[in-house]
Amino acid sequence: MNPKELKLIVKEKYSEIALQNPASDQPSCGCGTGCCGDTSFTFIGNDYSTLKGYNPDADLGLGCGIPTESAKIRPGDTVIDLGSGAGNDCFVARAMVGESGKIIGIDMTEAMIDKARSNAKKLDFDNVEFRLGDIENLPVDDNTANVVISNCVLNLVPDKEKAFKEIFRVLKPGGHLSVSDVVLRGELPLQIQQDAEMYAGCVSGAIKIDDYLEIMNKQGFKNITVHKEHKISVPTDILAKYVGEAEMETYKKNDFGIYSATVSAAKA
């Protein structure tokens, strides 16, 4: 699939999630969860409920970490959240920046932007803004943000070098990023790499962690630090759709596989 087709898959999937009835028993199958046919599974459970600023209407369970934990957000900061969804991380960040700060959420899915704006209106926040836009071409001026955060989204971007170049551009000198994302150790089976459903679930869009960190380095980021790493356990019945028994046993016994990681880096 070409980049345009991949983005269309993501927009369709996340529009479906945004428009889903909260009372529905159907799982939200995107980043943070995976779906394959009738089977769904959770990558990693992130309990936001105890965090200041948490709003349950904005939590769609699509993250693979809590990037604000390592973001060193201060009162008065301007924070940009890439792939802001219904606003979950934005509202947590807003509690950290206070009334004097500003939060800009960016998402390429119209239905998610509508949902996030509705949530912000209900909360009566006047310093949280949501913009429709592409991470490879951010609708933000140069040197705008003190902090950029993102949660389980950058692996969905086809051109990751361009994405990190844009992050570097919108950060102020001395600013920094904190992102939670899905990364790999070793190679994914080709069948998984080519599966559209697994792409929307962040798996087949992931790249090796060393390559991920090197892209950040090439774009000029300094002090690149991996704060957390958690191996994602993909259910056997899902793996069996893609790999044989021998390959599955090798996958389970070795350290290579799919991980969630939280990474920070600074713009000098």
CB atoms within 10 A of CB 240: 11
Question: What pLDDT was estimated at residue 203?
Answer: 67
pLDDT category at 36 given cuts 50, 70, 90 is very low
Q: How far apart are CA 18 and CA 49, in angstroms?
A: 20
Instruction: Give the tens place of pLDDT for each residue, 54-99.
Output: 999 999 888 889 999 999 999 999 999 999 999 999 999 999 999 9
Report angle CA 162, 12, 94 to the nearest 5 degrees.
Answer: 65
The string of DSSP letters for 81-113 reads: EET-TTSHHHHHHHHHH-TTSEEEEEES-HHHH
Pair of tokens at residue 103: 């939060």
pLDDT category at 230 given cuts 50, 70, 90 is confident
Name the residue with higher pLDDT: 146 or 35. Answer: 146
Cα 255–chain centre separation: 23
Instruction: Give the tens place of pLDDT for each residue, 179-197.
Output: 999 898 877 766 776 665 6
CATH number of the domain enclosing 42? 3.40.50.150
Q: How many domains does the chain have?
A: 1
- Domain containing 155 equals 3-267
Q: Which residue, 209, 212, 140, 130, is CA-closest to 175?
A: 140
Name the residue with higher pLDDT: 171 or 239. Answer: 171
For the chain, what percent of residues have pLDDT higher than 70? 82
